[in-house]
Structure 1
Amino acid sequence: MISLLTPRHWKDYELIDCGDFEKLERFGNITLIRPEPQAVWAKQLPESEWQKLHDIRFKGRSATSGEWIKKNARTPDRWHITYKNDDISIKLRLALTSFKHVGVFPEQAVNWDYISETIGQFKTEQPRILNLFAYTGGASLAAKAAGADTTHVDSIKQVVTWANENQEISGLKDIRWVVEDALKFVKREIKRGKKYNGIILDPPAYGHGPNGEKWKLEDHILEMMQDVAGLLDEEEHFLILNTYSLGFSSVIVENLLRGPLSDPQNLETGELYLQATAGSKLPLGVFGKVRKIG
């Protein structure tokens, strides 16, 4: 089944408008203007409204780096937001980075709902969850808050430290933090005979491991999916794959899930997007997921 999914009940986040290669977003009480290469259409709101509403604007020196320009010097560089659904409540520390990111990908809240809902349905008393390419840990927090034994893997030490801060301000503890190349970690877990009830993959198009390992989505995703399939608990599991590469479609993701899994149940693929208050839909990658409830 192909779906279009967007977060629907996040009070601390709002995509106000997008277009002309930019997006206007509210995170808590701070509103940002950031570059958005997917927003090839025209803005719905006039530029004067964008200028009035925003607190900080990202000015890029290149497609990925630049500096933040504040309208008011007292606007903080760091602040917290909260995410809640019917099952969990987590907090995230946001910050202005030189790469236009702030520490969260809001469209992923759809997957946090799926994770917490599925863990709540499992018969396994404490499901084991593995989050790969885990960034600042939104999915890890969602799994832990839902009661799972959670392992968080990312190759960048600084973002794992950031994720640990998010755990602390969320009032959680005992997430297992691993700074390692995701593919190497998965292969070692297979050798150890480990099994997981849930695996989340959010791989970048390009990346590097802590020891210079190179990751390119098209070159490595098949090997990764074949290995990950061997880590899934046969009786009860879920698997989520997100991709942001512009060359990947939901059909490609479906094939990547069907190939290694002999009997994928409740298979769903589609596109994640953010619904702007002004009317436009901003596409932000494709997903595929399967789950089996024991």
Structure 2
Amino acid sequence: MAFQIHAEYKENFACKIRSICSDLRKGKGIFWLFTKSWSSDIRLDGKTAIVTGANTGIGKETVKDLAMRGARVILACRDLLKAEQAAGDISRDVENANVVVRKLDLADTRSICDFAELIYNTEKSLHLLINNAGVAMCPYSTTADGFETQFGVNHLGHFFLTFLLMDLLKHSAPSRVINVSLAHHMGKIHFEDLNSEKSYHPVKAYVQSKLANILFTRELAPRAEEMGVSVYAVDPGLVKTDIIRHLNKSLQFFVKTFGFLIKPPEEGAYTTLYCALTPDLPTGAYYSNCAMAPCSRAANDDNTASRLWAVSCHLLGIRWK
């Protein structure tokens, strides 16, 4: 009897190993072993969503899921050709998918204004704004408006976009804003050198911009809540996406070699979708692995959040109280 139990255990273990190996060959990675299982049958018929950076990775998977639930989803992307290809892929995978492509360059405030104007002219409502796009650890460069690219795109671009679309979100309430942020725990806001003009390091600039996303969420939440708009900050985890393209060759080699340790994009989208769909979710919080999570001490600093808000408004030339 003992031998039979042992043999059965060995067979079950062997089956498990075969299953894991199969998943690895399919590119799933092993993070599914640690990723919280989550699903929802909530429908989004009649709802409209905007996803920035939606042509690839987490953004594309987010669009696909929202479209499967019946939402009209706008892919807000800088590269229209890649966005059209992504929309075509989604339309082939999702029957009757209602997805459209719109030009949005978060490195250019004029493009952001043009995008927002087009949205107001073509859309009657907006229920989800998912600020997903980002640039990571690139060589030093500036946006069309002279901001350091990572701070300008990841923070100021989405800050300005949200400001411009807030009236439509308010009109469509209840609605939600989701800011995607990774690696903020290492970040610090360098008010004396926000544009990295004195000293530039790609990682330092990146984590500063991601901390700014959390502080933006923290400061926006109480303002938006009275309008019926909830705001969330989301950590997707370490995900295999095109964002690694600016890493140096040794780090790219590490990521490619140990890619099986990294989440695939569909799993990276879980927490974004969790915050988009879960009813009665507390606003203003930081979420990771489909649950509320602790953030860094710097991200909990109300004075820094308030100061960054004021500085961001000044840099963009807007009044947002």
TM-score by length of 1: 0.46
Which is higher, the Rg of structure 1 or of structure 2?
A: 2
Larger strand proportion, structure 1 or 2?
A: 1
Larger helix proportion, structure 1 or 2?
A: 2
TM-score by length of 2: 0.43
